[in-house]
Structure 1
Amino acid sequence: MLTIDQATYDAIVGHAKRDHPDEACGIVAGPEGTDRPERFIEMVNAAGSPTFYEFDSTELLQLYKDLWANDEEPVIVYHSHTATEAYPSRTDIGLANEPNAHYVLVSTREHGNDSGPVEFRSYRIVDGTVTEEEISVVPTLDPAV
C-alpha cells in the first residue's frame, strides 16, 4: 500500500494538470529504507511529448547525487498519461528500474488541465510484473511511522 500525504498528492496532480497536454514526470524521495514519500521533486519531461516521458539525463544524474548525499531513495516515481488510462504502458514497464518504488500514474485524459478529477493509481513494477496497490491519502505523514 502507498501512503501519501495530501500535499504531495496535490503536488503530483497539479504538475500533471499544468503540463497537460504533455506528460509530466518526477519523483518523491524519502529516507532510505523507510517507504516514506517526503520530498516532492518535479522533473522536466525531456521528450516534451503527450505520449512519452523521459527524464533529462543531466537532471537525473544530479538528482541521484543529491539522493545519495542525503541517504534518500526514490519512494515514488510518477508520470502522467494524457490520453489513456492510468496504467503502465509497455514502455513504462521497461523503464521501471526502481524495484522498491511505487510507480504512480495520473491520467488527465478526461479533464486535461481543467479542474475536474483525475485518475490516480499506484503500482509496484518488479521484473516486468505490474501489481496495482491501494493508496491511502492522509492529511500528513505520521513522523513515528
Structure 2
Amino acid sequence: MLTIDSATYEQIVAHARRDHPDEACGVVAGPEGSDRPVRFIPMLNAAMSPTFYEFDSGDLFRLYKEMDERDEVPVVIYHSHTATEAYPSRTDVKLAQEPDAHYVLVSTRNGADSPTYDGEVEFRSYRIVDGVVTEEEVRIVPAYDQPAQ
C-alpha cells in the first residue's frame, strides 16, 4: 500500500495537469528504509511527448547523487498518461528499474488536465518487479501522523 500525504498528492496531480498535453514525470524521495514519500521532485520530460516520458540523463544522475548524499531513495516514481487510463504501458513496465518504488500514474484524459476540473482524477499506484505489475491501494492522509481521508 502507498501512503501519501495530501499535499504531495496534490503536487503530483497539479504537475500532471500543468504539463498536459505532454506526459509529466517526477520522483518523490524519502528517507532510506522508510517507504515514506516526503520530498517532491518534479522532473522535465526530456521526450516532451504526449505518449512517452523520459528523464533527462544528466538530471537523473544529479538527482540520484543528491538522494545518495541525503540518505534518500526514490519512494515514488510518477508520470501521467494524457489519453489513456492510469495503467502502466509495456514501455513503462520495461523501464521500471526500482523494485522497491511505488510507480504512480495519473491520467489527465477526459478533461482532468484542466485546473478547474472538479471531477475524480485517476491516480493509481503499482509495484513493478521483474516485469510483473501489481496494483496497490493508495491511502491519502492529511499528514503522516493523521489517519486516512
TM-score greater than 0.5 by the shorter chain: yes
**Counterpart secondary structure, 2:50:** coil
Asked if the contact 1:124/1:131 (under 8 Å) is kept, the reply is: yes
**Could you state the TM-score of these two structures normalised by the residue count of structure 1?**
0.96
Asked if the contact 1:22/1:50 (under 8 Å) is kept, the reply is: yes
Aligned-partner residue type, residue 126 of structure 1: V
Q: Which residue of 1 aligns with 2:21?
A: 21
**Counterpart secondary structure, 1:125:** strand
Is 2:63 the counterpart of 1:63?
A: yes
Give, in whole Å, the separation in 2 of the partners of 1:139 and 1:112. Answer: 22
How many residues were matched structurally?
143
**Could you state the TM-score of these two structures normalised by the residue count of structure 2?**
0.94
Unmatched tracts of structure 1, length 5 or more: none
> Could you tell me how far 1:112 is from its partner in structure 2?
4.3
Is 2:144 the counterpart of 1:141?
A: yes
**Counterpart secondary structure, 1:84:** coil
Give, in whole Å, the separation in 2 of the partners of 1:3 and 1:97. Answer: 21
Give the root-mean-square deviation of aligned CA atoms. Answer: 1.0
Give, in whole Å, the separation in 2 of the partners of 1:133 and 1:112. Answer: 22
Q: Deviations over 1:14-70 (max 9, x none)?
A: 000000000000000000011000000000000000000000000000000000000
**Counterpart secondary structure, 1:30:** strand
